[in-house]
């Protein structure tokens, strides 16, 4: 047992901790859990690593750039360790992927913990750190975490985990190797957390998983569409969202559950990755361009007001100019409200990493610029069409750029900034849109 070989000397009640998070919503949610574990032991959060006794870096390995950012940040932490006695831990996907390699590259790191092992954190932090500790075992079943211990950043919008891992093995994707295979949380625990959050005053619940569409209740076998309907019935919940979906598993019953629900937002992130069926086949995505467009058509028939976002990868091995143009044409046809776009980079263990990375870097850069330029035009056009309309906005806080301006999101998950003499944080506001940019809307409270 890990705890049997650790000499416990540290007192968490005397420690200040700082968590730096890289990556997706799953990582953000994990950091909230980690903070909750430490606070339950008496440790106190710190605003900066310089003021801390414990620095935890929660990592993302989905893209090469995320790793580069992590190692750059880790180098800065080494300078802090030279000046003071501080414990440094690396957790998350990079920790799971590279394990002892991190310690070989950065010997000042004290411990490594994978995403399935946060239950070992307290014992590891309390150890004397004379021996480097690696905790990266896999669990076959969903390891539930007491929701009341989660130290949530927001008092308005909350993540609720429904599943972890992925079984799809898309040829470019490292998630099955860093997050493991699919594990589903019992539906009764999910719904209880939604009810508890509502009683605590949360306005929005975001159901979270690597591929929520594949969810099956481990106790009853009921599907994600049933979960959506049950969550919609919770008294007091106002907005429900879910991320992330996979087109291969997105069924009509999920779309009908969305359209028939009162509180499920008409907003969906549905990663297409490429507009070319031949590239999608090489990616092992399990759908074609036409199948994806059929899903979009179904969604818009059921919910004409639905807001759609997506992910795009350019420069996948073997991507021809013709295949790339098909991606541009999908953007032009669907006209997403927002996209996240990236250059392909090979990830360890994946099928694509064993292929030649045949598209030159300069061509990848050029294609990414083209994608982002087209999407910017689409967003400007769409946002201009919203000027003059009044919409419901959930205020999440004040703008980072201007403390006199409040910032929130509408049902379509677009950023809306507005001035108000009244404090709207944590509340809904009716906002009339007066102007816009490509990435946000500007308005005034009605």
User: What per-residue confidence (pLDDT) applies to 6?
Assistant: 40
> Are residues 400 and 263 part of one domain?
no
Query: For position 389, what pLDDT does the model report?
Result: 98
* 1 has pLDDT over 80: no
Q: Is residue 67 part of a domain?
A: yes
46 is a domain residue: yes
User: Domain check: are 98 and 233 in the same one?
Assistant: no
Domain termination residue (choose one: 385, 420, 436)? 385
CATH of residue 73? 3.40.50.12160
8 A C-beta contact, residue 28 and residue 13: no
Q: Is residue 141 in a domain? A: no
In a domain, 435, yes or no: yes
Parent domain of 421: 390-445
Half-sphere exposure of 250 (CA within 13 A, CB side): 24
User: 364, 385, 406: which is the final residue of a domain?
Assistant: 385
User: Do residue 12 and residue 77 come from a single domain?
Assistant: yes
Place of tokens 């996240």: 340
Quote the CA–CA distance of 275 and 292 in Å, as a whole number. Answer: 9
Q: Dump pLDDT digits (tens) for 342-370.
A: 999 999 999 999 999 999 999 999 999 99
Same domain, 128 and 170: no
pLDDT (0 to 100) of residue 399:
84
272 lies in some domain: yes
Last residue of a domain, one of 90, 110, 135: 135
Residue 194 lies in a domain: yes
Q: What percent of the chain has pLDDT over 90?
A: 91
> Among 53-67, 117-131, 152-166, which stretch is predicted with the lowest mean pLDDT?
117-131
If we measure between CA atoms, which residue out of 90, 80, 82 comes closest to residue 19?
A: 90
Judge if 414 and 307 occupy the same domain.
no
pLDDT tens figures, 4-59: 434 444 578 889 999 999 999 999 999 999 999 999 999 999 999 999 999 999 99
pLDDT class of 178 with cuts at 50, 70, 90? very high
The mean per-residue pLDDT over the stretch 379-393 comes to: 98
One domain for residues 227 and 330: yes
C-alpha pair distances (Å), 97 with each of 55, 163, 266, 298, 315: 20, 20, 36, 39, 24
Return the bridge partners of 223, or none.
Answer: 216
Report the chain's mean pLDDT, rounded to a whole number: 94
Looking at the fold, whether 111 and 211 belong to one and the same domain comes out as: no
pLDDT at 10: 59
pLDDT at 13: 87
pLDDT higher than threshold 70 for residue 3? no
| 81-95, 298-312, 397-411: least confident range | 397-411
For 256-269, what is the mean pLDDT? Answer: 98
Assigned domain for 142 exists? no
Going by pLDDT thresholds of 50, 70 and 90, the confidence category of residue 306 is very high
Each residue's pLDDT tens digit, 180-199: 999 999 999 999 999 999 99
Domains in the chain: how many in total? 3
Return the half-sphere exposure (C-beta side, CA atoms, 13 A cut-off) of residue 218.
15
Domain for residue 19, yes or no?
yes
> Predicted confidence band at 401 (pLDDT cuts at 50, 70, 90)?
confident
pLDDT of residue 8: 47
pLDDT the model gives residue 167: 96
Count each helix (H run) and each strand (E run) in the chain, helices first: 13, 19
- For residue 232, the domain's CATH number is 3.80.30.20
The reported pLDDT for the residue numbered 145 is 87
């Amino acid at each position: 047992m890990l705890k049997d070989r650790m000499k416990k000397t540290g007192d968490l009640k005397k420690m200040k901790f700082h968590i730096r998070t890289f990556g997706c919503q799953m990582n953000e949610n994990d950091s909230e859990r980690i903070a909750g574990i430490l606070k339950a032991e008496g440790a106190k959060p710190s605003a900066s690593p310089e003021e801390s006794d414990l620095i935890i870096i929660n990592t993302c390995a989905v893209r090469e750039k995320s790793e580069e950012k992590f190692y750059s940040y880790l180098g800065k932490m080494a300078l802090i360790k030279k000046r003071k006695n501080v414990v440094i831990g690396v957790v998350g996907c990079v920790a799971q992927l590279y394990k002892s390699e991190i310690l070989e590259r950065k010997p000042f790191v004290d411990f490594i913990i994978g995403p399935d092992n946060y239950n070992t954190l307290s014992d590891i932090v309390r150890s004397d750190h004379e021996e480097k500790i690696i905790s990266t075992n896999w669990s076959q079943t969903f390891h539930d975490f007491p929701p009341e211990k989660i130290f949530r950043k927001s008092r308005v919008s909350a993540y609720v985990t429904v599943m972890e891992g992925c079984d799809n093995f898309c040829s470019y994707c490292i998630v099955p190797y860093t997050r493991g295979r699919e594990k589903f949380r019992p539906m009764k625990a999910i719904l209880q957390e939604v009810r508890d959050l509502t009683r605590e005053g949360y306005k929005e619940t975001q159901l979270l998983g690597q591929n929520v569409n594949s969810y099956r209740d481990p106790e009853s076998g009921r599907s994600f569409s049933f979960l959506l309907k049950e969550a919609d019935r919770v008294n007091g919940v106002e907005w429900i969202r879910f991320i992330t979906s996979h087109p291969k598993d997105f069924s009509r019953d999920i779309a009908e559950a969305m359209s028939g629900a009162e509180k499920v937002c008409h907003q969906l992130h549905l990663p297409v990755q490429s507009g070319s069926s031949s590239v999608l086949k090489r990616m092992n995505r399990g759908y074609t361009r036409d199948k994806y467009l059929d899903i979009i058509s179904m969604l818009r028939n059921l919910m004409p007001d639905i807001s759609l976002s997506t992910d795009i990868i350019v420069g996948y091995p073997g991507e021809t100019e013709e295949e790339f143009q098909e991606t541009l044409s999908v953007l032009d046809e669907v006209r997403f409200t927002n996209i996240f776009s990236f250059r392909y980079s090979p990830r360890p263990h994946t099928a694509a990493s064993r292929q030649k990375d045949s598209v030159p870097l300069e061509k990848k850069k050029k294609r990414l610029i083209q994608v982002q330029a087209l999407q910017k035009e689409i967003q400007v056009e769409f946002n201009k069409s919203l000027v003059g309309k009044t919409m419901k906005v959930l205020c999440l806080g004040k703008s980072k750029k201007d403390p006199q301006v409040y910032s929130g999101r509408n049902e379509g998950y677009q950023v809306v900034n507005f001035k108000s003499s009244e404090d709207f944080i944590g509340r809904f506001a009716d906002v009339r849109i007066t102007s816009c940019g490509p990435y946000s809307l500007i308005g005034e409270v009605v």
